[in-house]
Each structure stands twice: as structure tokens, then as C-alpha cells.
Amino acid sequence: MSQKVAVLGTGKIGEALLSGMIRGGWAPADLLVTARRPERAEELRNRYGVTPVGNAEAAKTADTLILTVKPQDMGALLDELAPHVPAGRLVISGAAGIPTSFFEERLAAGTPVVRVMTNTPALVDEAMSVISAGSHATADHLATAEEIFGAVGKTLRVPETQQDACTALSGSGPAYFFYLVEAMTDAGILLGLPRDKAHDLIVQSAIGAAVMLRDSGEHPVKLRENVTSPAGTTINAIRELENHGVRAALIAALEAARDRSRELASGKKD
């Protein structure tokens, strides 16, 4: 934690990472931030005691650069950084769909790049961050990325060829659960419950189910079967879900998300 780390393009995820690192023991004096708007940079200084700098200064000064700008802005950022990033500088990308080769081609030869796909539960220290090494990244570089992103949740190493699938599953994953909760809340209202009560019932059920999945060691089929009595209410609901093709729709949705991640990697915008 004695190294200097710079978060470039500090939006919501970048700020969540920054605050998690400070809670995890990083000294604010060792953390640099960049932001497009000066007032945003000053806000981060006042809130966390970190040092706002320009992108070029961050590239020259920090031991690790974490790039959290949007995918469509990454090319312009790398053009700005390239003259200032030494070959040994660790570069961590949090941009969806962009392969490590994109960075390696634009930075000095031999620059170690680590690709990370995290998700919005980083805002509550419950992120799932998936980590892959580029051509020049070593085990030590991966360990550094794990130490940083471990401050806001769990980490998992995967080959980069699996990143698009991980983006579909966990990167976009929270949105699917929010969508499901939204639909179940509407169903609760249709069944006669006030919105706030339906919301509370569903959210706590989701939290309890997630903890059971995480801590029980049981397969989800087994956990579902434990709730599903013969000729009972749950099996009738499951039958309707199957009749409406919910399982097939979920598989198709995740395939679509994976395919879009691949399109982003190839540079397709629309």
C-alpha cells in the first residue's frame, strides 16, 4: 500500500473504488485522481483528502494507473497518456469490452496491462471484479489489481477470453436483479399489496436467498426444491415461469450482452 495509485476519470465507480481503498488502508496522500471537471476534482479532494492532478502528471507520478473512463473515451485518453507512461507502469482498465491489446498497441512496448470488469455493487463494497492479465502482466501485477479491487468486494481471475461472458453475467448482472425486483414489485401491487410493503418483502427475500446461495454450499436447484412443496404455491409459480420461457429468455439475454461486449471490443458503436 506504499505505492502511489492514480484513478483516472473518477466517476461513480472510480469514486467507490477510491473510498474503498481508503477504508482498506491506503493513505489518501498516496492516491491521485483526475476528473474532467475541475469542480469534481476539488470535490474529491475535500471529501477524501486525495490529490487532484492532470492525466499527464498522473501517468508520470503514479506506480499504478486505473483507467475508469467510458469505453468510447478510452482512445483519446490513451493518446494523451502515451507520451508519459513508462514501459514498467502498471495500467489497469475498467472499461467494458476493450481488450488489453488495445492498450498495449497504444502504450510503450512491454507495458503491463490488467483488465478488470467490476460492477455497481462496488458502491456498497459488494462488487464482483473479474481480473485478466495482458501479455506483459505478471502474477505480481495481478496481485496488485486484486488488492485494489478487493477493497470493494470479491475478485476472480479468469483468462481474458472469458471476459465477455463475465461482463454478461456479473458486469451487467445487477441490472437483471433490479429488473426482476421491479417486475415482482408490480406483481405484488397487482396482488393487493402497497408498493412499499411489496418492495420490502422482495428485497429482504432477495438478500436472504443470496446469503443462502453464498453460505450454504448447496446447489441452487436443491435450495429451490426445499421451497417447492408438492402441489403447492411455489410449483405453480415455477410452472408459469417455465410456460413463459423465462429460463430461455435469460439465456438469450446473457448471450446478447456477451455479443454486445464483443462488438464493443471490435470497435462497433451502434
Burial 104-115 (b: 16+ CB within 10 A, else e): bebbeeebbbbb
In this predicted structure, what is the pLDDT of residue 269?
A: 62
* Structure confidence at residue 267 (pLDDT): 67
* Contact between residue 136 and residue 113 where contact means Cβ atoms under 8 Å apart: yes
CA distance to 157, 185, 267, per residue, from 149 (Å): 12, 33, 27
pLDDT of residue 268: 63
User: Computed over its alpha carbons, how large is the radius of gyration of the chain?
Assistant: 21
pLDDT at 251: 97
Residue 121 confidence (pLDDT): 95
Rounded Cα distance, 74 and 61, in Å: 20
What pLDDT is attached to residue 264?
Answer: 77
Per-residue pLDDT of the chain (270 residues; tens, 9 = 90+): 568 999 999 888 999 999 999 998 999 999 999 998 989 999 999 999 999 999 999 999 999 999 999 888 899 999 999 999 998 899 999 988 899 999 999 999 999 999 999 999 999 999 999 999 999 999 999 999 999 999 999 999 999 999 999 999 999 999 999 999 999 999 999 999 999 999 999 999 999 999 999 999 999 999 999 999 999 999 999 999 999 999 999 999 999 999 998 887 776 665
* 158: nearest Cα among 119, 100, 102, 116: 116
Please tell me the predicted confidence (pLDDT) of residue 270.
59
Amino acid at 250: L
> What is the predicted pLDDT for the residue at 70?
87
CA distance 144 to 137: 11
Give the H or E element holding residue 154. strand 153-157
